């Protein structure tokens, strides 16, 4: 299986369990790795035969900017299901970064990474 990666998609969302997170929002960063067979697209040099990563990126940002959820686990699942709706995408790895998580000690980032497939 081939891989198409999108790294560092940024969007502002209002996800979290605390009222301040829901009210003020924060930046979320998403990394994606789409698993698909790119041979048909490469053979015909045809965008229609692969995942259009520009459209995928727009849809993922819309999920992050959309309906708030409590957990980044839920957000990652919604993003994965959005990616799997694209014909040809057999598998997706989603990493959601929450660099401004409400943690009281110094830290660089909080992430969750999930892998989902059509199977």
Residue labelled with tokens 């999930």:
114
DSSP string, 11-50: EEE--SSSHHHHHH-EEEEEEEEEEE--HHHHHHT-GGGS
Catalytic status, residue 98: yes
- C-alpha separations of 41 from 18, 45, 62 in Å: 45, 5, 26
The active-site residue out of 10, 20, 49, 98 is 98
Residues that are catalytic = 98
């Amino acid at each position: 299986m081939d891989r198409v990666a999108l790294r560092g998609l940024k969007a502002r969302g209002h996800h979290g369990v605390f009222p301040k997170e829901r009210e003020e929002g924060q930046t979320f960063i998403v990394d994606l790795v789409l698993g698909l067979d790119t041979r048909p697209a490469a053979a015909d040099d045809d965008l229609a035969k692969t995942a259009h990563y520009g459209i995928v990126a727009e849809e993922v940002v819309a999920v992050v900017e959309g309906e708030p959820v409590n957990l980044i686990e839920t957000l990652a699942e919604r993003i994965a299901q959005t990616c799997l709706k694209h014909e040809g995408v057999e598998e997706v790895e989603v990493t959601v970064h929450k660099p401004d998580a409400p943690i009281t000690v110094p830290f660089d980032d909080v992430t969750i990474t999930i892998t989902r497939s059509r199977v």
